[in-house]
Structures are given as C-alpha cells and as structure tokens.
Structure 1
Amino acid sequence: LIARAADFIDPLNSVLVEMVVKNFSKGKKANWFSGVGKVHSFTHTGDAAKGTAILGNTPDAYGEVWHLPTSDERITGKEWIALFAREMGVAPTYSTLPDWMLGLLGLFIPVLKEVREMAYQYDRDYFFDSSKFNRRFGYVPIRAEEAVRELVKSMKTEK
C-alpha cells in the first residue's frame, strides 16, 4: 500500500503558514515561489489522516498506489494568497522568491530547506488528482476556503 499526498495545509510545518500566514500576521507581504500564477494543490492534514485510516482498514486497498483525498479545486499561488488575505482581513500583497533565495532562507527556516528540493512543483502547475480515492470511498475532501478558515482560526487560538 502506497499513500501519497500533496504539500500539506496545516498549522504546523506548512509552507503556507511559513510564507503566507506568519507574514500577514506580522503586517508583511506574503512570499511565494516564482510560479505564483501556477496551480498548486495542498492536502489538508485532516483529510490525509482520515484517508490513511480508511486505506489501512480496507484489505483490498493493499497492493495499490493511492493519492490521499485532496480538493479538486485548481487554485494558483496568487489565489491561495488571496484566500488567506480575505480570511485574515489584510490586503493580498506578495513577493515572489527566486530559487536561489530558498537556499539562503533554508538556513533559518527549516521547512524552506526542504522546499528547495521540491521547487519544481512551483514553476509549473502542480495538480494532485485524488479522484480514484474519492470515487472508491465516496469521500469529499475539504474545500480550500474552509481549510483556510480552519487554519487561520486554529492559529488565532494557539496564541
């Protein structure tokens, strides 16, 4: 059994939190990689956890490769930034990070060190298709707007 996921949308150790939410909460611009106009899928960790549990409890799922449930919305980096800005009540301002800067920032922000190796996912559309899982198990992943609302709310309660 192989279960794959896209990048995670989660309050802990998430590119979206490090580059968008934390910056907006400090009154700064969001950061994004060079492909701000490219589609980028994110898997909600709640969906990933449920999906993994479902697969682990389904004997006939073994021996296959599965994409864990991920919204089928095709959302660009710019649109992700706008969703967070709207939820946080700030302007959707952003700067794009060139690839070389990821290496430098990775020295100070561990999650960005890992992202540099995966930068190719940001310079072209990265759409994660979990339709096989969703059809097989009748699963409907959380929508992006709801995931953003949930993440921002959880970040506020952590303070």
Structure 2
Amino acid sequence: MEKAIVVGATGGTGAAITEELVMRGIHTVAFGRSIQKLEQLKASLGNPQNLTVATGDAFRPNDIVTAAQGADVLFHCANVPYHEMATKLIPLGESVMEAADQLGVKVVAVDGIYPYGKRQMDLVTEEHPKQPHTKKGKVRFAFEQMLFDSRWSRAKAMIVRLPDYYGPTANEASYLGSTLEAIAAGKMAFFIGTMRVPREYVYLPDAAFMIAELASKTDTWGENWNIPGAGQIAGREIVRIAQKASGSVKPVIPLGRAGLSLVGLAVPVMKEVVEMLYLTEEPLILSRDKYEKRIGQVRATSFEEGITNTIRALQGANRRKSK
C-alpha cells in the first residue's frame, strides 16, 4: 500500500484510519464533503506533508475517481444516518465500488455487526450465520452482498466488522461516542441500553491499526474480518472511568425502549435505535481467532487507558473551540 484514499475521512472511523495511515508514512487523500472539516482534520494531525484533502460527493463516482488517482487502496468509511440507511446505504456503496472498479483498486469497507442477527455463538467468528432479523441488519447484509458482487471485475473488497466503538474521533454514529462527549463537556449524558450488561467496545486507534494491518496484506481480500475490542465492560464502569477523567459528576441516564421513543419525539433518528437494542441486552462478542492466526496479536488498549485518553482529547478539543 503506497497511496490510499479515505472516503468519509472526517467521520469517526475515517479520521482514525487517516491518522493511522499518515503515521505509517503512506501518502493519504482525505476525501469528504466539507473543506472546513477536512482542513480541521489536517491541522489536528499537524499538517503532515503526506496528507492531502479532496472535496466531493461520495454518491458521485467521478468525484471519487478524480480524487483517488494513483491510489491502490480505498477505505470506505462514509456512512448515512440511521433513518436514511434503507434508501441510501446501497447507492452509496455502489458509487464507491463503481469508482473503485474504474480505478482497479482495493476497497476496505468498514461495517458493523448488524448482519449477524442474534448471537448463535459465544464468540462470534466470521463464519457466524448471517440471519439478520432487523431492517438495518437486512440492509447491511445486502450491502455485503453488493460489495462482493461479481459485476465488480477490477475492484477487490474486504469488510472489516467493528463492535460499538469509542475514541477521540467517535461521533454520533457511535452509541458510546455521544455519551463520552457529554461527560467530557460536563453535561448530563444519555447511555443507550442497560448499564448493567457488559458489552464489547473497540478503541478506534486500535481498530485503525488493525484495519491498516489487514489492508497491507495481499491475502486478506474477498473476506470478512472481525475487529475485536479489549473485552467487555458494563456501562456503569465506563461512566466511572469517564467521570474520574473529566471531573464531572453530572448524571448519566440509561435509555431503554421507552426512553428512546420519548427522546425520538424531538430527535427522530433516536427512534431508529430501538430495533437494535437487542445488542445491548444480548451482546455479540467478536472472536479474535482469525485475526491472530493470520495477522498477529490483536491490539487492545485497556478501557481505563482508552476512555481516559478519549475524555482528555475531547476536553482539549472543547478548549480549542472556546478560544
């Protein structure tokens, strides 16, 4: 991998992957819609010489083709809001794959665990049956089938699957990201799902490292890959660590079905979370066996360190904004 383009570079996973690639010395193009956000991303990384920015619409293949000239790997990190997933996710993916096929490049598609449906293994391997029972799970499964469709004769894809994630660049696409943002700002926070059941989370810098490792290999394409976290942790413990790091003692309120429906009256996208709450009650835990057998040891920052780093980074960003 000599040159890469990150589509959706200012999002949570995109920003983390962009930073990892730049640290590896790879010439990287950060692609997104907002020049202001792209320039802010570049500045936050110290304006490295091996990072360029390019604006465009990921729904227009030609915009991607123009920006990606000379790249050999494309990281598809662009996403759509929950309430637009059914209508926009597949067209977005098709646009990215059409561009990649024109260019003859490899595609790393960042996705989640929804296509697995309800857990059928204690540790979910990449061979876990794909039996989604939710609307979003079915759309995500169709997205996978589209990526691996035979019509793409020149592009090769892989899918990397993350559990819920957190980190300095996480945003509203992460259940936990918005919770930690509020705690860092000293505000009352919401926590989606029960705070008693331990769940799996991956620290985004760890995920970005593992994804870059996979993209640097020659025998990883055409497959699904789990990107596991550092284990399981309950919401109460997350809040304890985050409040200790932030100095905030504002309340953190768990949101179940009733709470999400109520909040959804003001924030419609929150209604869309309700069907995914089964993952907070019967969590999926990703197996690390395939990654460790073929790539190496999983990188797993402890929750204490990862959450503390995230809170401090968010507080630093808040201070810079207030100046």
TM-score between the two structures when normalised by the length of structure 1: 0.79
Shifted more, 74-83 versus 105-114: the winner is: 105-114
Letter in 2 for 1:150: N
Distance 1:111 1:82, change over 3 A: farther
Gap regions ≥5 residues in structure 1:
none
The structural deviation recorded for 1:35 is 2.0
Residues 210 and 299 in structure 2, CA contact (< 8 A), matched pair in contact too? no
Residues 226 and 291 in structure 2, CA contact (< 8 A), matched pair in contact too? yes
CA distance in 2 between partners of 1:131 and 1:147 (Å): 23
The structural deviation recorded for 1:158 is 0.8
Query: Residues 66-103 of structure 1: CA distance to partner in whole angstroms, max 9, x if unpaired?
Result: 111421x2211111111111212234853222213324
The structural deviation recorded for 1:24 is 6.1
Distance 1:157 1:109, change over 3 A: farther
Letter in 2 for 1:119: L
Residues 35 and 77 in structure 1, CA contact (< 8 A), matched pair in contact too? yes
Distance 1:7 1:113, change over 3 A: farther
The corresponding residue for 1:7 is: 164
CA distance in 1 between partners of 2:274 and 2:215 (Å): 31
Shifted more, 83-92 versus 147-156: the winner is: 83-92
CA distance in 1 between partners of 2:243 and 2:200 (Å): 18
283, 298, 312: which one pairs with 1:125?
283
Distance 1:128 1:139, change over 3 A: closer
CA distance in 2 between partners of 1:155 and 1:24 (Å): 6
Residues 66 and 130 in structure 1, CA contact (< 8 A), matched pair in contact too? no
Query: Residues 10-45 of structure 1: CA distance to partner in whole angstroms, max 9, x if unpaired?
Result: 3331322323440563343x4323421111111222
SS in 2 for 1:155: helix
Residues 70 and 129 in structure 1, CA contact (< 8 A), matched pair in contact too? no
SS in 2 for 1:41: strand
Residues 180 and 311 in structure 2, CA contact (< 8 A), matched pair in contact too? no
Q: Does 1:150 align with 2:309?
A: yes
Residues 37 and 76 in structure 1, CA contact (< 8 A), matched pair in contact too? yes
Q: Does 1:26 align with 2:183?
A: no
Runs of 4+ more than 6 Å apart: none
Letter in 1 for 2:198: V
CA distance in 1 between partners of 2:181 and 2:283 (Å): 22
Distance 1:155 1:37, change over 3 A: same
More helix by share: 1
The structural deviation recorded for 1:145 is 1.2
RMSD: 2.7
Distance 1:57 1:20, change over 3 A: closer
The corresponding residue for 2:198 is: 39
152, 171, 177: which one pairs with 1:17?
177
1:69-88 correspondence to structure 2 within 5 Å: 69-71=228-230, 73-88=231-246
Distance 1:107 1:77, change over 3 A: same
The structural deviation recorded for 1:118 is 2.1
The corresponding residue for 1:51 is: 210
* Structure with bigger gyration radius: 2
- More RCO (CA 8 Å, sep 6+): 1
The structural deviation recorded for 1:104 is 4.0
The structural deviation recorded for 1:109 is 5.1
Letter in 2 for 1:50: F
Letter in 2 for 1:25: A
Q: How many residues align?
A: 157
CA distance in 1 between partners of 2:308 and 2:279 (Å): 24
Residues 38 and 126 in structure 1, CA contact (< 8 A), matched pair in contact too? no
Gap regions ≥5 residues in structure 2:
1-157, 319-323
